[in-house]
Structure 1
Amino acid sequence: GRLAAESYGRVTSLALDPVEKKPLYHFFPGRRILSVGTYGCNLQCRFCQNSEISQQSPPDVGYDELPPETLVRLAADKRSIGIAYTYNEPLIWYEYVLDASRLAHAEGLANVLVTNGYVNPEPLAELLPYIDAMNVDIKSFREEFYRDISGGRLAPVLDTVKASVKAGVLVETTTLIIPGHNDSDEELGELAAWIAAEAGEDTPAHLSAYYQRYRFSAPPTPVETLARAYGIFRKRLKHVYIGNVAMEEGAHTRCRECGALLIQRMGYSTRKVDVGEGGSCGRCGADNKIVESIKRGPSTSDK
């Protein structure tokens, strides 16, 4: 027999989004990116926040056919910075993502993964040369959480983060804070320490509020819990952000050295205040790992 990628070219979602929506806060801030997704996931999180496509398949979800060549042409035509593979888990769409990212890379467009990071090392290594940035969802720092609630394992996710950082990809992380399940001071402290040690203390980390969805009945995340998690992460990491709720302190980007306000955000509205050349601080010159250009391909100068 022959294995076939059933979902190849099948698109359930396509939109020109603010890059902050991925979320990516240190990659082309204030710009838009063509975002695309299919259906399905390789995890079965009981708290899934987009189960309408991630935990469904045809005929329960509709789709359109979109060849990778057309996707890349759309991204170029819309003056997007590139393509974000998102909405559902892009790594189960591997063949399509690989083909599209190769084409986009050749055209000087950026490739972004918004992923749970649950992938084997070999296919990841083949894909990484074409990926510029990714947001990796670290759902918990406990194996039992992954086993009992998400139907997977933690170790491969951590390996993905380490391999991607080593390959030179800009990595940001997201953790959905679920009351009573992954929000203890001990676990949050261990996760923040691991990110700092393995990905770097400059790694942007997003802490997002959970709301009741799909098959999970835990109460929504209190603002106080997010504030506590933010404080724990800030002891280890220079750039920590709060998502899914309005918290001013967790929205803006400040210089890691002098504290100057670099980027101000209100929802998905972004204003660069004092970002210098190469994403540095305009006041003190410190490198805050803000990427605003990629160097390759014939169309790079157009961005």
Structure 2
Amino acid sequence: MEKLKEALYYEKLRNKKVKCHLCPHGCVIEDGNGGFCKARQNKNGVLYTLNYGKVSSYAYDPIEKKPLYHFYPGSKIFSIGTFGCNLECSFCQNWEIAHSNPVTVEISDEYILKLANSNSSIGLAYTYNEPSIWYEYILNMSKKVKDEGLKNVYITNGYIEKEPLKRLLPYIDAMNIDLKSIDDEFYKGLCKGSLEPVLETIKLSKEKTLIEVTTLLIGSKNDSVEKIREIAKWLSSIDKNIPLHLTRYHPAFKMDVPSTSYDSLLNAKNEAIKYLNYVYIGNVWGADANTYCPECSTKLVERNYSIELIGIEDNKCTNCGYNIRLKY
């Protein structure tokens, strides 16, 4: 018989209903039903997590694939994911595990830690689907990972309430947060969510850990120069050193808009770099993925067939001394 784990962050209501407080949806769930994320279920007035310890996907990935460019460049990390999501983006690139019922396996904590500490891995990345709905498992594993002297990396849509996020952040070494658009109507219409909680996650996380931000650019949906400018200006108001990844969309899930053109990505980068020190184009073979000094343009990290730190020492540009804020 399946052993379930009681969820955190919920309250019991009348008539065996419960209200979940993990994410901004705040689902009120009747007995026998599940939440929006499909990963939490009310059983007899108690909210349980359905995905605790269940792994749908795992692999050793380059840290740049997360994408994280300013966190141990050239390293590998063991990556795991489960199933479900608390957004429903019509363009989801991982819909097979986010919005269907993938095959899962249960892997012991000890074996996960062994894998995270093998094959030159620097730690454990929670990724592939939305990790916030794997909250109880990640809270447990992230503590064990830290005890082993390894790194925790969290790849998220940012759609989580403040209190559970604050509880988790002390154990997270780096995050990549999706900012799908700076337009709330985009979130409501294409993601079944809202913008403000994501902005709050970015602001709160920046205070506690290393963050990078990704925006998947979709032609005619969120790739206008005006919207890119708005994103870049907002991020720079927090810290102009936050790396922004502008990645290429390909048709997926329910959306058949053509793949984003390279010109659109390049125009977006040229606009964003006016306000941010580090802007990268992703999902495009051959695009310049190097890191340059914002002060003197010296190449600091070369990302080609191999990844090399060539112009940085003690976190400073070897040419002009500019402080780079890059972990390596």
Cα shift readout 1:211-267 (whole Å, capped 9, x = no counterpart): 111100211100100010001100000100000013543x11001211110111127
CA contact (8 A) 1:69 1:103 kept: no
Per the TM alignment, residue 68 of structure 1 is displaced from its structure 2 partner at its CA by 2.8
Considering fraction of residues, name the structure with more helix: 1
Considering fraction of residues, name the structure with more strand: 2
Cα shift readout 1:49-88 (whole Å, capped 9, x = no counterpart): 111111112xxx1111023333122212333111110011
Say what the alpha-carbon RMSD is for the aligned residues.
Answer: 1.2
| Equivalent residue for 2:308, pick from 264, 271, 275 | 271
Per the TM alignment, residue 288 of structure 1 is displaced from its structure 2 partner at its CA by 1.2
Alpha-carbon spacing, 1:273–1:35, altered in 2? closer, same or farther (3 Å): same
Task: Say yes or no: does 1:197 pair with 2:234.
Answer: no
Aligned to 2:168: 127
Aligned to 1:261: 299
Greater shift after overlay, 21-30 or 61-70? 61-70
Per the TM alignment, residue 147 of structure 1 is displaced from its structure 2 partner at its CA by 0.3
CA contact (8 A) 1:206 1:243 kept: yes
Task: Say yes or no: does 1:242 pair with 2:281.
Answer: yes
Per the TM alignment, residue 183 of structure 1 is displaced from its structure 2 partner at its CA by 1.1
SS at 1:113's partner residue?
strand
Task: Say yes or no: does 1:214 pair with 2:253.
Answer: yes
Task: Say yes or no: does 1:98 pair with 2:98.
Answer: no
SS at 1:134's partner residue?
strand
Task: Say yes or no: does 1:185 pair with 2:185.
Answer: no
- Structure 2 stretches of 5 or more lacking a match? 1-44
Task: Say yes or no: does 1:174 pair with 2:211.
Answer: no
**Letter of the aligned partner of 2:309 in structure 1?**
K
Alpha-carbon spacing, 1:290–1:25, altered in 2? closer, same or farther (3 Å): same
- Structure 1 stretches of 5 or more lacking a match? 293-303
SS at 1:4's partner residue?
strand
Aligned to 1:290: 326
Per the TM alignment, residue 204 of structure 1 is displaced from its structure 2 partner at its CA by 0.6
Runs of 4+ deviating beyond 6 Å? none
SS at 2:271's partner residue?
helix
Aligned to 1:297: none
Cα shift readout 1:179-203 (whole Å, capped 9, x = no counterpart): 11101121111110001112x1011
**Letter of the aligned partner of 1:187 in structure 2?**
K
**Letter of the aligned partner of 1:194 in structure 2?**
W
Give aligned-pair identity as a percent: 46
TM-score with structure 1 length normalisation? 0.91
Per the TM alignment, residue 285 of structure 1 is displaced from its structure 2 partner at its CA by 2.2
Q: Distance in 2 between matches of 1:282 and 1:54?
A: 44
SS at 2:312's partner residue?
coil
Per the TM alignment, residue 106 of structure 1 is displaced from its structure 2 partner at its CA by 1.6
**Letter of the aligned partner of 2:194 in structure 1?**
R
Aligned to 2:57: 13
Q: Distance in 2 between matches of 1:26 and 1:185?
A: 25
Q: Distance in 2 between matches of 1:280 and 1:8?
A: 42
Aligned to 1:230: 269
**Letter of the aligned partner of 2:322 in structure 1?**
A
Q: Number of residue pairs matched?
A: 284
Task: Say yes or no: does 1:2 pair with 2:38.
Answer: no
Greater shift after overlay, 135-144 or 280-289? 280-289
TM-score with structure 2 length normalisation? 0.84
Per the TM alignment, residue 3 of structure 1 is displaced from its structure 2 partner at its CA by 1.7
1:159-170 map, 5 Å: 159-167=200-208, 169-170=209-210
